[in-house]
Amino acid sequence: MNIQTSLDIAAGALQLPQPYLLFLGDATESGFAKTAYGLRDWAPEKCVGEYALPAATVSTGLPALTPAEAVAKGARSILIGIANRGGVIAPDWIPALVEALEAGLDIVSGMHARLSEIPELAEPAARLGRQLIDVRHAPQGLPVGTGRKRSGKRLLTVGTDCALGKKYTALALARAFADRRVDVDFRASGQTGIMIAGGGIPMDAVVSDFEAGAAETLSPDAAPGHWDVIEGQGSLMHPAYAAVSLGLLHGSQPDIIVVCHQPGRQEMLGTAGYSVPGVEETIGLNLRLGARTNPAIRCAGLSYNTSHLSEDEAFALMAEESRRLGLPVADPIRGGDAFARLVDSCLA
């Protein structure tokens, strides 16, 4: 059995066996299937299909395949496409994952739980010679943050809540910068981004004292005209996940923030009774706290997740919000002139 962790990621040695069969487990909330959706949308060439338990109600729209069928189509691993509360591997998933090992697939996981510490998986993996690959564990030797001003330019996506488009926005902006021949790198700070980019640091797996230092490591000194577009995590207003958001904000030292929001979402994901804050409050709090390590920080605009709206509704809402806030408002997936204006504002 070969075990890979984010130590390999930090060393640039991570080799994920591709293509993937995306495992959806028993997910019933689309927000918790963001890993599967992210791979489908940003690395479709790496995905052959999906495999879900009978209780699941979410789908990527990819072909439903058994592990054996996926192997016949060339799959080399089953990738856990769930990012549930606590990052746990449910006992009900084990038989399906063992089935995948027996069919000839390795397992790739972005969960907090370590695959190698689950005997029901470790034993058959060792017996069959399969790989158990964890990407959500922090590398050793991360420094404490220094707050030292670094060369180069940085953009950080921040949000009013979890799972509403920070990764998608960062990827879309990095692609748009590259299309304009801007020297740019996408910096992944979560498991799905790492799986897409092939490297990064899973910030929610870092001990709190080293969060800012990890963010500094993720985005080191660069040429004056170089941009790092950094994937944000959580929300400064989330009662459970604000710590990772603050450490990433301070360590990233962003020159630019883009605030991500899903209009119409009422409660913060996974935390009943806590309402989603307004975008004005989110902008103000991020600028106030971000100014601690970069006094020149500014908000370049907002990215709205309008997947639940019709095209006409989405563009009308974003135009009205742009007028109200005095900033570009765009949905990076819909693109168009609104997104072009957001890119212009970021590079201004």
Give the Cα separation of 268 and 234 in Å (integer). Answer: 10
**Of the candidates 96, 221, 202, the residue with the CA atom closest to the CA atom of residue 146:** 221
pTM of the model: 0.83
Mean pLDDT of the chain: 92
Give the Cα separation of 190 and 245 in Å (integer). Answer: 12
The owner of tokens 């069919």 is 103
For 1-58, the pLDDT digits (tens) are: 443 344 344 434 456 888 999 999 988 888 788 889 989 999 899 999 999 999 999 9
For 52-100, the pLDDT digits (tens) are: 999 999 999 999 999 999 999 999 999 999 877 767 888 999 999 999 9
Secondary element (H or E) of residue 257: strand 256-261
Give the Cα separation of 114 and 135 in Å (integer). Answer: 9
Spatial contact of 257 and 290, defined as CB atoms under 8 Å apart: yes
Query: Strands 298-304, 329-330: parallel, antiparallel or unpaired by DSSP?
Result: parallel
- pLDDT for position 14: 53
With a pLDDT cut of 90, the percent of the chain lying above it is 78
Tokens matching residue 135:
């990407």
Instruction: Please name each of the domains of the chain with its CATH number.
Output: 2-134 (3.40.50.720), 153-347 (3.40.50.300)
- pLDDT for position 221: 96
Residue type, 93: W
Tokens matching residue 328:
């570009």
Residues in the chain: 348
Lowest-confidence region among 6-10, 147-151, 273-277, 306-310: 6-10
Burial grade of 346 (CB within 10 A; 0-12, 13-18, 19 or more): buried
Tokens matching residue 198:
């092939």
Tokens matching residue 228:
């790092």
**Of the candidates 106, 60, 109, 65, the residue with the CA atom closest to the CA atom of residue 89:** 109
Spatial contact of 37 and 167, defined as CB atoms under 8 Å apart: no
Spatial contact of 83 and 32, defined as CB atoms under 8 Å apart: yes
What average pLDDT does this structure show over 127-145? Answer: 90
Query: Strands 298-304, 227-230: parallel, antiparallel or unpaired by DSSP?
Result: unpaired
Spatial contact of 71 and 62, defined as CB atoms under 8 Å apart: no
Q: Apex CA 133: angle with CA 129 and CA 138, to 5°?
A: 145
- What would you report as the CA-atom Rg of the chain, rounded to the nearest whole angstrom? 20
